Structure formats: structure tokens, C-alpha cells
Structure 1
Amino acid sequence: MISKTVTLKNEDGLHARAAALFVRTANKYGSEITLQAHGDSVNGKSIIGIMSLGAFCGEEVIISALGTDEEEAVESLVNLVENNFIEI
């Protein structure tokens, strides 16, 4: 399992659009993906779960993955968050 902590920099945090982009990116990978904030942990491939975290700008989230492509998955998701949910 690989985990990385990242700070949300986008103004709205994990709102609907950002959550949708996170899920779309997470679903490209076969690994199990988990997102943690405020001590709560949710499935990183569930838009409802991600939005339920209520994570806002300036807050830290932990992205974790377990599986054959875990390193690539975490790196891709961290890049997405660090680029303010703008797909590159």
C-alpha cells in the first residue's frame, strides 16, 4: 500500500466537479483507492463517499492505493489535486 498526503488548494475543495474528476481518474486504475480526511476514510472511486468527506481548501487529504498499479494511481491522483483538478 502506498499513501501520500496532499493539501487541497482549489477554492472549493472536494465539491461535485472535483469529486467527479477524482473518481474518473481513480477508475482508470485497478488498485483499491482510499481517500481520508478528518479521520474518515472513503472509497476513492465513490463520488458520494468523496463528497461526504466535506474537505475544503487548505485541508489535507491522504490518498492511498493498494494493488498492482498503486504507485501510478497515487501519483496520478496527487497530480490531479496539486493541479487544482485541472486535467493535464
Structure 2
Amino acid sequence: DNELQDETTSSNSSDSRKTWNVKYALRSHLDGVRCVAFHPVDSVVITGSEDRTLKLWNLEKSAILRKATTTAQDLEPIYTFRRHT
């Protein structure tokens, strides 16, 4: 089940808004995320941040940390690429 789930609400036919349900929370970066790339077939995402790291996420096999207060799954990256100076 890799599809995004949405709930559509509209007040009339010309005004529609979508509210997305959060499925995963990717919280490992120490600074703002500037880019996200999704693999076209596999459940893999790579993120780039101002903390000078790229993080590779496997949405199916990552270590999942459940929080009781949310229905979203907190994931840990499977690999972190750091910039060397």
C-alpha cells in the first residue's frame, strides 16, 4: 500500500481542498530539508538538508518507532551521507 491517502472536502464544485493524512515522519535531519526524491518503483526516498547530509529512507523496511500520540510512523534512515570539508 504505497498510495497516498487523501480526504477531499469541498464547499462547492469550484472550491475544493485536500487534506493529506501523514503516513511517515522522517525526522532525522538537524536542519531544514531542501529536496526530496522518490524512487519511481521502490519504496525508497532520499532527502537533502541544509545540515549538509543526504539521507536514504526505505519506507517498507526502516526501523519504525511508534508514538502513542500519532498515527504516523516515525522512521530512521537506513543510510546517511555526510559532506566532508
**TM-score interval for Structure 1 and Structure 2 normalised by the shorter chain:** 0.3 to 0.5
The TM-score with structure 1 as length reference comes to 0.32
More strand by share: 2
The TM-score with structure 2 as length reference comes to 0.32
- Rg comparison, structure with higher value: 2
More helix by share: 1
- Structure of higher RCO (CA pairs closer than 8 Å, 6+ residues apart): 1
